[in-house]
Amino acid sequence: MKRSAIRMCGLLLFLLTGGTSSCRRTGEGRDEKTSFLTPTDAPAVPPSLSRRSPRLDVVELEVREQVMSLASGVEYTFWTFGGHVPGKFIRVTQGDTVELHLKNNAGNKLPHSIDLHAVTGPGGGSPSTFVAPGQESQFTFKALNPGLYVYHCGTPPVGMHVANGMYGLILVEPRGGLPRVDREYYVMQGDFYTVGPHGQPGLQAFDEEKAIAEKPSYVVFNGAEGALMDDHALVAEVGQTVRLYVGNGGPNLTSSFHVIGEIFDRVYPEGGSRVQENVQTTSIPPGGAAIVELKVEVPGTYALVDHAIFRAFNKGALGQLKVFGPPAPDIYSGPQEPRSITALRGRP
Amino acid sequence: MTGRRLPAVAATLAMTLFFGGRVARRASSAVDPNKSPVATTGAATRGDDAPSPLPAGSLYDLGLRVVGTDGRARALDDLRGHPVLASMFFASCPTACPLLINDLQRLEAALPADLRDQVRVLLVSFDPKRDSPAVLEAVVGQHGLDNRRWRVAAAESEDGARLLAAVLGIRYRAAAWGMFDHTVRVAVLDGAGRIQARSGDVMALAPALRAAAATRN
Amino acid sequence: MGRALITALVFFIAVAGAWRPALGRAGIRPEPAALPGGRYQAVTARKEAPAVTVAPYRLDRQPVTNAAFLAFIREDSAWRRDRVTALAADGGYLAAWSEPLALGPNAAPRAPVVGVSWFAARAYCAARGGRLPTEAEWELAAAASPRERDGRRDPAWRQTVLDWYARPNPATLPDVGRGRPNVWGLSDLHGLVWEWVNDFGASILVGDEARLCGGGANGAIDPLDYPAFLRAAFRSSLEGRTTTPNLGFRCAYDGGGS
């Protein structure tokens, strides 16, 4: 019994240390230019890049645990990358080297880390960034693949850290950048689990049993019910092309992302490199993302929803895109006075 | 005493007993340095007969003792003046620790001869129960370690092992069948016992070792 | 007759006050509670990993207070904020105090001392004839609720423990001893501050450097042990010199009653 355990251990260690025992120094003596990134809070996106040569991108994220509003009258202690849910949007180019600093605010209770799906390397960076309150960690990775990627806290119990809002997006643009559009926005869906039922006011605690049973109390865009409604709605003008970077932090639910009254002219399904066209609803799994593009032609208010529709109207998965501009009655008439079909048919 | 005065005297006496008792207790719980199992860090606590005071923050301030292959418990002070590679292991470790020893030997071999003569390697077991002097002697023999430069020993107690591990940044947990889950980290100490660098990548410590040798005191 | 009675009463109270300092003034602590020990299995261990047998021990009823720690520093000045070494503590050491030897408005005398490193906590406990508790001793003590030795099966009690993780840190920490003690007479094991254990280095999260020669575990977490798992994760993030604004400690002592 002992010998086979040792053998297995030996095999495992051989595999584990095979890659790490050779010394690889990174980050020293590079002659790339250095950029200091300023990641943004949703729904804003950092300006587009069209870089031809790789750079060293230095980015700093600070984890802050703080009480914020989850819905009207409902408060929750969110664990955040940068003070909001979702966490800050990071934008780099394929081939860049990214030096990521993770700070854990001294006022926090828990240790945290970060796992970026754009990272190739063990844990996506999580073991290298594990950090106690008041401390700072750092690691550096090369963005090998383009795409739109989720990042989230990788500290066990990971489900609880994610359920409390620790997720965001990192965009790795192909060299030369994505084609330009008129508007870009950052939207991220998440499910929340509270001890009290949906709508119960006051400071709500995380409900571990509901999370394990996958029965959320809230399903929202950008960290709160109403985060993209009314005064906070996304805006565009008739004739503009809007690109939405849509992520799904989960922890549990897949989003059936749809904009009522619009069609996605182009979708990069799963945030990858292929383009699908003319899509009504696209599936975004937890821990996944998609890029959708739509040209808006008719003014009005368009609802962003998770088309598993009870989530939209009973749990909060509802946002708005308001389009301003001249009407386009030949595309969409609005209400009409019904005319007689019989009369229509009767005409010679 | 008259009846009228009695309550006042009694009250005064009572107050004296009440607060006096507290003062006495505070005095009796004063620290006795001889009682603490481990000396406190910092030069301020060393007595007059101690060797010349070390700069603050030295491993050698902790009063740690280790039991060598000869079975004798010794402090680490004889490492003073040398740059040191320090780490921890356990003898029953199937692969990770032999790999660590190999890496340390490789690093040693890659050093220029005069630096290699100065460097000392301190390897302390966090499994003092099983890693007796005889077991440690076997480890030395298996790897052909040079006794003049390598100090293979076991912590004097489990608490001593925890203390050294905390300083070096090494974590370990007892698992089944006498095994341990543990991290691998090596520290470079300068001649005064101050930690200059710590890393899981042994070969990356060469520059720190050179720098540690260069600093006098 | 009445006067004599009052006098006797005053005497009795004075004597009681001098010999039973359970009124919680600064620097004085009630005697520690006695626990019988028992068997302890860590939440992250596999089934075949050894359970630890814990001998009878004693544990402070409350975390060490600011006032008590100040008294210790006055006895052993090496642990003053302006004298401690970088090996023994980091930059946050006693940061909430206004001066090296004064508490100030952000550190109430009876609030738990925080911003202390493992080395500092050990020195304090050694000076008091004790030591830090082991993880096993601490977790065995913390499994108890006000009503039962193992309160983890009580969902209501479990939720009160979990609630602490849902709340942000208060701006100033409250005094120790306000919550209901558990069946062992211990307060504040939950709901106030994290606490040091002597073998914090036994908490390892699987990472780049971990060598699982014991075949570590990453299985499903028993929902009963969620808070214990959170504590294991927190301990994994600590080094000996780490201080945080919500990490304190209490002392343990060998031997105990029943």
Chain A residues close to B179, C-beta within 8 Å = 5, 9
What dihedral do alpha carbons A130, A136, A139, A144 form, nearest 10°? 90
Lowest-confidence pick of A94-98, B119-123, C19-23: C19-23
Chain A residues close to C163, C-beta within 8 Å = 205
Nearest to A81 by CA among A64, A67, A58, A98: A64
Q: Three-class SS of residue B59?
A: helix
Kindly state the helix (H) or strand (E) to which residue C53 belongs, with its residue range: strand C52-54
Rounded Cα gap, residues A145 and A142, in angstroms: 9
Q: Which chains have 3+ CB pairs within 8 A of C?
A: A, B
Number of structural domains found in chain C: 1
**What is the 3-state secondary structure of A43-101?**
CCCCCCCCCCCCEEEEEEEEEEEEEEEEECCEEEEEEEECCCCCCCEEEEECCCEEEEE
In the prediction, which pLDDT does A156 show?
87
Rounded Cα gap, residues C239 and B168, in angstroms: 10
Query: In chain A, which residue's Cα lies nearest the Cα of C231?
Result: A110
Q: What are the extents of the domains in chain B?
A: 2-214
A211-236 average pLDDT score: 97
Q: How far is C125 from chain A (nearest CA, A)?
A: 24
Q: Which residue has the tokens 């990042």?
A: A151
- Please check whether residue B47 touches C, CB under 8 A: no
Rounded Cα gap, residues B8 and C109, in angstroms: 32
- Which residue of C119, C127, C214 is in closest CB contact with B41? C119
Task: Write the DSSP string, A291-339.
Answer: EEEEE--S-EEEEEEESSTHIIIII--EEEEEEES---TTT---S----
In the prediction, which pLDDT does C222 show?
64
Tokens representing residue A178 in the block: 């994505």
Is B138 in contact with B55 (CB distance < 8 Å)?
no
In chain A, residues 66-95 whose CB comes closer than 8 Å to chain C: 66-67, 76-77
Q: Which stretches of chain B are assigned E, i.e. beta strand?
A: 65-68, 73-75, 84-89, 120-125, 150-155, 172-174, 180-183, 186-189, 195-199
Phi/psi of residue A10, nearest 5 degrees = -60, -40
Percent of chain B whose pLDDT exceeds 70:
73
Q: With a cut of 80, say whether residue A291 has pLDDT above it.
A: yes
Is C67 in contact with C103 (CB distance < 8 Å)?
yes
Q: Read off the pLDDT of residues C35-85 as tens digits, 9 standing for 90 and up.
A: 999 999 887 665 566 789 999 999 999 999 999 999 999 999 999 999 999
Cis before residue C21, ω within 30 degrees of 0?
Answer: no
Interface test with B, best of A17, A20, A22, A139 (most B CBs within 10 A): A17
Q: Three-class SS of residue B112?
A: coil
Q: With a cut of 50, say whether residue B20 has pLDDT above it.
A: no
C13-24 average pLDDT score: 52
Q: With a cut of 90, say whether residue B56 has pLDDT above it.
A: no
In the prediction, which pLDDT does B129 show?
93
In the prediction, which pLDDT does B187 show?
96
Question: Residue A130 and residue C244: Cβ atoms within 8 Å?
Answer: no
Rounded Cα gap, residues A205 and A194, in angstroms: 6
Q: Domain B2-214, CATH 3.40.30.10 — does that match?
A: yes
Q: How far is A105 from chain B (nearest CA, A)?
A: 22
Q: Three-class SS of residue A197?
A: coil
Question: Residue B10 and residue C10: Cβ atoms within 8 Å?
Answer: yes
Is B125 in contact with B49 (CB distance < 8 Å)?
no
Q: Read off the pLDDT of residues C182-199 as tens digits, 9 standing for 90 and up.
A: 999 999 999 999 999 999
Question: Residue B22 and residue C76: Cβ atoms within 8 Å?
Answer: no
Percent of chain C whose pLDDT exceeds 90:
60
Q: Which chains have 3+ CB pairs within 8 A of B?
A: A, C
Q: How far is A23 from chain B (nearest CA, A)?
A: 7
Between residues B28 and A247, the one the model is more confident about? A247
Is C129 in contact with B35 (CB distance < 8 Å)?
yes
In the prediction, which pLDDT does C1 show?
65
Q: How far is B112 from chain C (nearest CA, A)?
A: 29
Query: In chain A, which residue's Cα lies nearest the Cα of B179?
Result: A6
Q: How far is A31 from chain B (nearest CA, A)?
A: 22
Lowest-confidence pick of A165-174, A316-325, C207-216: C207-216
Tokens representing residue C145 in the block: 């609720």
Tokens representing residue A224 in the block: 């709160």
- Which residue of C6, C77, C213 is in closest CB contact with B179? C213
Q: Read off the pLDDT of residues A232-252 as tens digits, 9 standing for 90 and up.
A: 999 999 999 999 999 999 999
In the prediction, which pLDDT does C60 show?
97
In chain B, residues 15-34 whose CB comes closer than 8 Å to chain C: 15, 17-18, 20-22, 25-26, 29-33
Query: In chain A, which residue's Cα lies nearest the Cα of B206?
Result: A23
Is A136 in contact with A96 (CB distance < 8 Å)?
no
Q: With a cut of 50, say whether residue C27 has pLDDT above it.
A: no
- Which residue of A9, A17, A23 is in closest CB contact with B204? A23
Q: With a cut of 70, say whether residue B83 has pLDDT above it.
A: yes
Q: How far is B72 from chain A (nearest CA, A)?
A: 32
CATH number at residue C119: 3.90.1580
> Number of CB pairs < 8 Å for B and C?
172
- Which residue of A9, A21, A25 is in closest CB contact with B94? A9
- Please check whether residue A1 touches C, CB under 8 A: no
In the prediction, which pLDDT does A52 show?
80
Chain C residues close to A122, C-beta within 8 Å = 208
Interface test with A, best of B93, B95, B100, B201 (most A CBs within 10 A): B95
In the prediction, which pLDDT does B195 show?
93
Between residues C206 and A106, the one the model is more confident about? A106
Q: With a cut of 80, say whether residue C241 has pLDDT above it.
A: yes
Kindly state the helix (H) or strand (E) to which residue A129 belongs, with its residue range: helix A126-129
Interface test with B, best of C53, C196, C213, C236 (most B CBs within 10 A): C213
In chain A, residues 18-77 whose CB comes closer than 8 Å to chain B: 20-21, 23, 25
Chain B residues close to A9, C-beta within 8 Å = 94-95, 179
Q: Which residues does residue C59 pair with via DSSP β-bridges, in sequence order?
A: C33, C252
Q: With a cut of 60, say whether residue B25 has pLDDT above it.
A: no
Q: What's at C228, amino acid-wise?
A: A
pTM summary value: 0.81
Nearest to A282 by CA among A293, A273, A295: A293
Q: With a cut of 60, say whether residue B11 has pLDDT above it.
A: no
Q: With a cut of 60, say whether residue A9 has pLDDT above it.
A: no
Could you tell me how many helices (H) and strands (E) chain B has, helices first?
A: 6, 9
A134-161 average pLDDT score: 95
Q: Which domain holds residue C111?
A: 3-254
Q: Share the mean pLDDT of chain A.
A: 91
In chain B, residues 98-157 whose CB comes closer than 8 Å to chain C: none
Rounded Cα gap, residues B141 and B146, in angstroms: 9
Chain A residues close to C166, C-beta within 8 Å = 76-77, 203-206
Is A223 in contact with A84 (CB distance < 8 Å)?
yes
Q: Which residues does residue A60 pair with via DSSP β-bridges, in sequence order?
A: A101
Confidence of residue A273 (pLDDT cuts 50, 70, 90): very high
Percent of chain A whose pLDDT exceeds 70:
91
Chain B residues close to C41, C-beta within 8 Å = none
Q: Residue C176: exposed, middle, or buried by beta-carbon count in 10 A (0-12, 13-18, 19+)?
A: buried
Tokens representing residue A335 in the block: 């209400």
Is C173 in contact with C20 (CB distance < 8 Å)?
no
Q: With a cut of 70, say whether residue A285 has pLDDT above it.
A: yes
Chain B residues close to A2, C-beta within 8 Å = 177
Between residues A118 and C223, the one the model is more confident about? A118
Q: What's at A51, amino acid-wise?
A: R
Rounded Cα gap, residues C211 and B172, in angstroms: 9
Q: Read off the pLDDT of residues C118-131 as tens digits, 9 standing for 90 and up.
A: 999 999 999 999 99
Lowest-confidence pick of A295-299, C76-80, C118-122, C153-157: C153-157
Chain A residues close to B181, C-beta within 8 Å = none
Across B29-38, C131-140, C196-205, C211-220, the highest mean pLDDT is recorded for C131-140
